[in-house]
Amino acid sequence: MLPAGARPGGRREALHLPGSSAQRRRQLPCDAVARAERREPGRGAQEHCHAAARDNFAAERDDFQTAGHHQRAYHQVVPVRINDERQEIRKGGSWGKEKQNTMGDVPRDPNDTIDSLGKTMQGLKDRLENLEQQQMRANISGATFPSELRDLLQRRLGELEKQLLKKVSNLEEEKSMLSNATAAYRLKTESTLNALVERISELEKGGGDFKSPEQFKLSLPQRTNYLYGRITKSLPEMYAFTLCMWIKSAASPGIGTPFSYGVPGQANEIVLIEWGNNPIELLINDKVAQLPLEVRDGRWHHICIAWTTRDGQWDAYQDGEKLGTGDNLAAWHPIKPGGVIILGQEQDVVGGRFDAGQAFVGELSQVNVWDRVLKPFEIQSMANCSSYIPGNVISWLASNVEVFGRGAFKRPLEMCLERLPNA
């Protein structure tokens, strides 16, 4: 097996860049120099070997300096140019005009940069191996061989290796961040699509006796512990929510409990209640905030409650107008998943043990829940009948509401304009 670059007959070529000074100067192995000395009796073999090693080292140094100049130029532009490369538009299955790569050009793709660094390192490793082979032959023959170029190559290899590892680390970090963002967006999209598919399915079924699946109301005419509605779906873990509904009641004292959500270990995870002569209260994880809402006039009212775990911030809307705001309500507490939603009763245990004194008396409709804080204009548009926005977590559909107790009914809902306070 011949060494890399060797030719039959004992003569080998040193690696060089095209057009380098080494093209006309080649090293003769020291065992072949003796034969050359016999052809040229004027010089000794040892002197031939020393001269050949010096000449080859000078040529290799010139080549490396030339290559190093190109490599420095290449690496200086990597961090600057990589984000400025012009993007190409693929048309008709073929790419547009490509930019020609030169020694100083930066590859368009970060993976190309890594490949290029790898090829550069491999080239320098080959040169280093070549020099080590030359040094080994020189040592065998007793000649001295300068180590300056070898040390320089080793330093350059170390620098390139650091650049390569840093580039790979950056790409892995970017890939991880992109993957997390994509997963969050996919979950949000799937939730929206599921709500849309559900609504389309209900529309296709015709909504039973109602004009559309959301155009019905739950009527609870008596204060008992056995009339109520139950949402067939549960809530996911949430760090913010908005609860909206149309409500009509003339009960006194207090309208009772239009909405309650209980989870194992906490029956008062989310509760909206007005009992006795107290104002309407919002309970989250059994923490209480009093809301400035007045709905006991026997008319339809649109109310919305928005809350976020960040500082426990809450906002209360009635008929599209923000009437109250506050904070420190169950701050940093996430809403727990997997509970039970009851309409018309307050839960002492999950899904049961109701108290007639806290029961809701009146009518409810379009009870929707979102896992975000709705914008004020979204709430206003629902309150003034300019739009209807179904909840992306809980959507008011006839198939989602079960009715319990003789006297509780689902009935057709009045037209939205007829429900406005000034109608």
Quote the CA–CA distance of 347 and 340 in Å, as a whole number.
9
Number of helices (H), then strands (E), in the chain: 6, 14
User: Model pTM?
Assistant: 0.54
Q: Which of 278-292, 334-348, 403-417 has the lowest mean pLDDT?
A: 403-417
Cα 264 from chain centre: 31
pLDDT recorded at residue 19: 43
Of 20 and 139, the one with more pLDDT: 139
Quote the pLDDT of residue 20. Answer: 41
User: Is there a cis peptide before residue 390, judged by omega within 30 degrees of 0?
Assistant: no
**Banded pLDDT at 111 (limits 50, 70, 90):** low
The reported pLDDT for the residue numbered 52 is: 54
| Residues 6+ away with beta carbon under 8 Å from 104 | 70, 73, 74, 77
pLDDT-above-90 percentage for the chain: 44
Mean per-residue pLDDT for 393-404?
Answer: 94
The whole-number pLDDT of residue 96 equals 37
Q: Tell me the C-alpha distance between 131 and 160, whole Å.
A: 19
Q: How far apart are CA 254 and CA 187, in angstroms?
A: 40
pLDDT tens by residue, 172-230: 888 888 877 787 777 777 777 776 666 666 555 544 556 677 889 999 999 999 999 99
Q: Average pLDDT, stretch 103-123?
A: 63
**CA-closest candidate to residue 314, choices 294, 339, 335:** 335
State the Cα torsion 308-295-248-348 to the nearest 10°. 60
Average pLDDT, the chain: 76
**How large is the average pLDDT for residues 261-284?**
94
DSSP string for 197-217: HHHHHHHHHT-TTSSSTT-EE
> pLDDT at residue 149 above 80?
no
Complete domains list, the chain, with CATH: 21-85+99-173 (no CATH), 213-419 (2.60.120.200)
The tokens describing 63, both together, are 């080549």
% of the chain beyond a pLDDT of 70: 65
Which residues, listed in sequence order, are joined to residue 270 by a DSSP beta bridge? 261, 284
Mean of pLDDT values over 84-106:
38
Distance in angstroms between the alpha carbons of the first and the last residue of the chain? 100
